[in-house]
Structure 1
Amino acid sequence: MDLINLGIKSIFIENMIFAYFLGMCSYLAVSKKVSTAMGLGLAVTFVLTLTVPINWAINEYVLKEGALAWIGPQFANVDLTFLQFIMFIAVIASFVQLVEMIVEKVSPALYGSLGIFLPLIAVNCSILGASFFMVPKDYTTPVEPIVYGFSSGIGWLLAIIALAAIREKMKYSNVPGPLKGLGITFIITGLMGLAFMSFMGISL
């Protein structure tokens, strides 16, 4: 039940886009078509699902104060938390490179449509943010960061697909000239963010 609550909370209540506004660059740029948004959303979910638990393990057994006690008592007071940023980015960049190679091999059309935003997943704020948000939560088992990473990715996926679907429908709408493009997109994103804020009142 706790894992289900964690998943629901990560998808709706602590949504990376609508609660923290992380990853907005690729969210706005790649949300013009549902097919492209789906591809990027799945890639982000894949990277989050793998990098968050790996970064949790690195932080738990290598970086945080006392984490190296398993090597020997002389390392019990070693604190390497200042390396968190570098280590987390290195893990994320490695998996993004893996995703990029897989997408290029499996779906060249999707690879071409995503363009520069696929390698930019490496510096996507939502992915790095999830790793940093995971640290103070003090997860005790590897399953919790896996659920947290996967659910955060699903939340990001739902957000970008929803916006892409709305933007596709807007092509047939009479949008005022000054608001066409990013103007109406920002308004829609704000309204969706307000809607998701209603989930914050839910206690699980």
Structure 2
Amino acid sequence: MEHIELFFKSIFVDNMVFATFLGMCSYLAVSKKVSTAVGLGAAVIFVLTVTVPLNWLLDQYILREGALVWLGEEFADYDLSFLSFILFIATIATMVQLVEIVVEKFSPSLYNSLGIFLPLIAVNCAILGGSLFMQSRDIETLGLALNYGFSSGIGWFLAILAIAAIREKIRYSNVPAPLRGLGITFIITGLMAIGFMSFGGMLTGGDDAPKADETKTAVQQEENTNTTIEAIDEVVEVSTITE
């Protein structure tokens, strides 16, 4: 259940683009065509799926305070958390370089269409944000880290794919001149963010939600209280008329 909830929340409620506005540079620049958006989105999914679990391992067994205890008791007091950014970015850059080599080898046309934005995945704030959010949320297992990386990539992919499809359609629409280009794109992005955030109401619940019996009891108590107040008002009105 925890995996399912994390999966859907990362895609819809905590979407990298619509909830935290991370990765907006490539989101806006590469979303003019669906074909390029699909290629970049797939690359982001791969990089997030690989780097978030790898950085989770680095955080658990090297970076955080006491993580080096597996080397011996004399290393139990070491705290290398100040190296988090450096090691996280190094891991991301390595994976992005691998993706760039593979894309250039097997799809030169996609490599040329993505241009500079493919190597810039290494400095895409959505990629680093995935690892930092993983660290700040204290994700407990490697499986959850893998789930979070993959689902966050899916969310970013859906965002750029949706805006690319819409931007291809609005080319043939009568958009007011001041809003053409990035203006209408920002407006559409805001509306899409509202739509994605609306899924939050569907994913709430669990231990924090009141049980059905407790809710029913509370409603009955409120109805009884209202009935008592109405009865008292009627008695007061009758007494006033009698007097």
State the TM-score, normalizing by the size of structure 2. 0.82
Greater RCO (CA < 8 Å, at least 6 residues apart): 1
Residue 197 of structure 2 aligns with an amino acid whose one-letter code is M
Residue 204 of structure 2 aligns with an amino acid whose one-letter code is S
Residue 126 of structure 2 aligns with an amino acid whose one-letter code is S
Residue 26 of structure 2 aligns with an amino acid whose one-letter code is S
Counterpart Cα distance in 2 of 1:96 and 1:69: 31
- Residue 45 of structure 2 is matched in structure 1 by 45
Structure 1 gaps of 5+ residues are none
Alignment of 1:117-196 (within 5 A): 117-196=117-196
Runs of 4+ in 1 over 3 A off after TM superposition: none
Secondary structure, aligned partner of 1:31:
coil
Alignment of 1:1-20 (within 5 A): 1-20=1-20
Q: In angstroms, what is the RMSD of aligned CA positions?
A: 0.8
Counterpart Cα distance in 2 of 1:183 and 1:16: 21
Counterpart Cα distance in 1 of 2:107 and 2:177: 36
Which is greater in Rg?
Answer: 2
Q: CA deviation at 1:185?
A: 0.7
Q: CA deviation at 1:140?
A: 2.4
The alignment-based identity, stated in percent, is 68
Aligned pairs, how many? 204
1:113-140 per-residue CA deviation (whole Å, 9 max, x = no partner) reads 0000000000101110010000122222
1:79-104 per-residue CA deviation (whole Å, 9 max, x = no partner) reads 00000000000000000000000000
1:41-74 per-residue CA deviation (whole Å, 9 max, x = no partner) reads 0000000000000000001000000000000000
2:204 aligned with 1:203, yes or no? yes
- Residue 30 of structure 1 is matched in structure 2 by 30
Q: CA deviation at 1:197?
A: 1.9
Counterpart Cα distance in 1 of 2:196 and 2:178: 27
Structure 2 gaps of 5+ residues are 206-243
Counterpart Cα distance in 2 of 1:87 and 1:97: 15
Counterpart Cα distance in 2 of 1:57 and 1:18: 28
State the TM-score, normalizing by the size of structure 1. 0.98
Q: CA deviation at 1:141?
A: 1.8
1:3-41 per-residue CA deviation (whole Å, 9 max, x = no partner) reads 111101110111000000000000000000111000000
Secondary structure, aligned partner of 2:31:
coil
Counterpart Cα distance in 1 of 2:122 and 2:72: 35
Residue 46 of structure 1 aligns with an amino acid whose one-letter code is F
Structure 1 window deviating more from structure 2 (16-25 vs 187-196): it is 187-196
